[in-house]
Amino acid sequence: MKIMLIGAGGQLGSDLLRVLPAANTVPLTHADIEITDPRSVQTAFEQHRPDVVINTTAFHRVDECESQMERTFQVNTFAVRGLAQACKQFGAVLVHFSTDFVFSGEKQEPYVETDRPRPLSVYGTSKLAGEHLVAATLERHFLIRTCGLYGLGGSRSKGGNFVETMLRLAAQGKTIRVVADQTVTPTYTADLAGKVTQLISTQAFGLYHITNNGWCSWFEFARAIFDLSGVSADLKPTTSEAFGAPARRPVYSVLRHQRLESLGLDDMPVWNASLRRYLAERAQAWAATPTN
């Protein structure tokens, strides 16, 4: 089984590379494929003839999506449909990632895969539209909604992740204000990558929710980062209204893994245990990196 991994240089992509069979995996970065260009997509499929395509790319700067609607839908919706069409042409399975932002957060209990989506933002709407186009185009697909991703691939990248942002701000001695009225499940990309590789082998196609287990507010997540790191920080809670981000976020984004449960595969670690592991692995990775 040949796997074509699109977005291999990102947080999730780099963790997928660690668990996918190296001999059968073709890692592609933006330099190798431009998913918004049909010719680039066709060339990649003709060259590699994949059996499975994993797409980890997205335009996910949620606030920027509000003012860059055309680009958002080009990447998150229409390009995804193009990948699904190419997979259909070449007989490949598509694995594509979506988001908790497809929900409004009004339910106040964990969302299951059959709950009706109602996105509040351009980003969430574009991702939901991408889901619909994949499902309408290709029967053999895995659509995976997840939440609050962080991974080692972001620990030294320009984009970073929430954990790295918190640690950087603490090192600068700044007062850090984090919203305490949005409930999420922070998810370590290493855990997600492992579950995705397991799921692919089942051939049980369809829509899945996959996150770490448990939940917290963003403020509680930030506090856990500092506590587990032994870092002193001037951390203060705030509200979504006071924070004033351009894009509306769901106030409750917890996803229940109902379909994983039905397969007997819902053994994802609790979020704070994974955070502890991430911080330990991060420290090891930094210690092993030579300094000039």
Backbone angles phi, psi at 185, to 5 degrees: -125, 100
Question: Which entry of 111, 123, 150, 278 is annotated as an active-site residue?
Answer: 123
Alpha helices in 3-54 (DSSP H): 11-19, 38-48
Containing 35, the helix (H) or strand (E) segment is none
145: enclosing H helix or E strand: strand 141-146
Angle of CA points 78, 81, 83, to nearest 5°: 115
Whether 123 sits among the annotated catalytic residues: the reply is: yes
Helices (H) and strands (E) in the chain, counts: 12, 12
Angle at 88 between CA 84 and CA 91, to 5 degrees: 125
Q: What is the three-class DSSP state of 123?
A: helix
Type and span of the H or E element at 166: helix 162-171
Phi/psi at 270 (5° precision): -70, 145
What does the angle CA 216 – CA 16 – CA 285 come to, to the nearest 5 degrees? 75
* Angle between helix 122-137 and 79-90 (nearest 10): 20
Catalytic residues, which ones? 123
